[in-house]
Amino acid sequence: MVAGRPSAVNSSTATILRSVQVNLRETWWIRDVEIPTRVVLAPMAGVSVQAFRRQGRRFGAGLVCSEMVSCAGIEHRNERTLGYLRVARDEHPLAIQIFGSEPRVMADAARMVEAAGADLVDINFGCPVRKVTKTGAGATLLDDPARAQAVVEAVASAVSVPVSVKMRRGLENGSRACLTVGPQLVEAGAATLTLHPRSARQMYTGEADHSLTAELVSLVDVPVIASGDVISRAKAQAVLATTGAAAVMVGRGAQGNPWALREMVDGDAAAPTREEVAAELILFIRETVRELGERRASGFLKKFYGWYLGRGRFPRPFKQELVQLETTEEVVTRLLAAAPGSAEIVERLEAELPDPADEILLDQMPISIYGGG
């Protein structure tokens, strides 16, 4: 289902009047995949681990996305890369994002992603980071429409699940490449497009120009997801109302702040208590350790302490104290001491988690998928 064509909005009053009509808990579809809310949790490198995605689903994200996975890493059966393909029962619907520039290799990676249990295969044509673009992948493909089309066509032909594409407006400031390339990608087989209307050169500076999102919606007959600067319910509703997009994608606003997702979807703006914050962080720590192991998780998690404990929730010295601790168990102990009431909440949250045995693990996949004997 695609939201209607956008119309021009010339005043903030008109925007507000129209935005209140948008229901973010409305179901929509990407081909045959039902998405229960109009909020999508963004794929973010170094952030979107399984624990992050599962938390996002609990707080109202209708669709969650993995961080980008290298198709070359999948092709070479890199152990860490394959670890990104762990899928839990409570993540669905889930998109696993892959990046690369060779159609055959991307198609092979997409087959692996489908075998892992993803509901969608997402292709990254938006990453602006040099180590990705220098390989011809990410946002660079917006300057090579023929190759971009070939990648999408190869992936769409290789899998039965829908294919989505996330892209920027183009490489350079002021580029409108997305409006040319986007319809071509749909023709090649993309079932949905996500547009972050900043240029690759902008990285994350300046403002996202959602007038481009509105134009893209008018050019394609698949759902468009609007990404960029969506940090509140009011902003989400305004973007949906003024662009005709089917959903909004939330990224940095949800880092250490899943309550932002709840506020967007349900309008529940109640600030979490210290106990709730500590409990969610403790659960996140434990689930991340289970996923990554203590050694990797202890370093990975440090940035999350500031994200969770900021916004006036805990004193700044407390966050700095946690970063200095050597093990995650020490961090959990300090959190429980600082917010004793969080222990009961953690116990309840852990009781509601599905059995880890329900996960699709790599050793359960067909041997032919990943080159076994």
Q: Which residues are catalytic?
A: 127
Neighbours of 366 (CB within 10 A): 9
Contact assessment for residue 305 and residue 322, using Cβ atoms and an 8 Å cutoff? yes
Q: For residues 227, 231, 237 and 242, what is the CA-based torsion angle, rounded to 10 degrees?
A: -50
Sign of CA dihedral 143, 144, 145, 147: negative
Reference 1, options 222, 205, 216; nearest CA is 222
Give the C-alpha separation, 341 to 348, whole Å: 12
User: DSSP code of 87?
Assistant: B
Q: Tokens 């399984």, residue? A: 50
Give the C-alpha separation, 324 to 302, whole Å: 9
User: Position 305: which residue type?
Assistant: Y
Reference 280, options 264, 256, 261; nearest CA is 256
311-342: b (≥16 Cβ within 10 Å) or e? eebbeeeebeebeebeebeebbeebbebbeeb
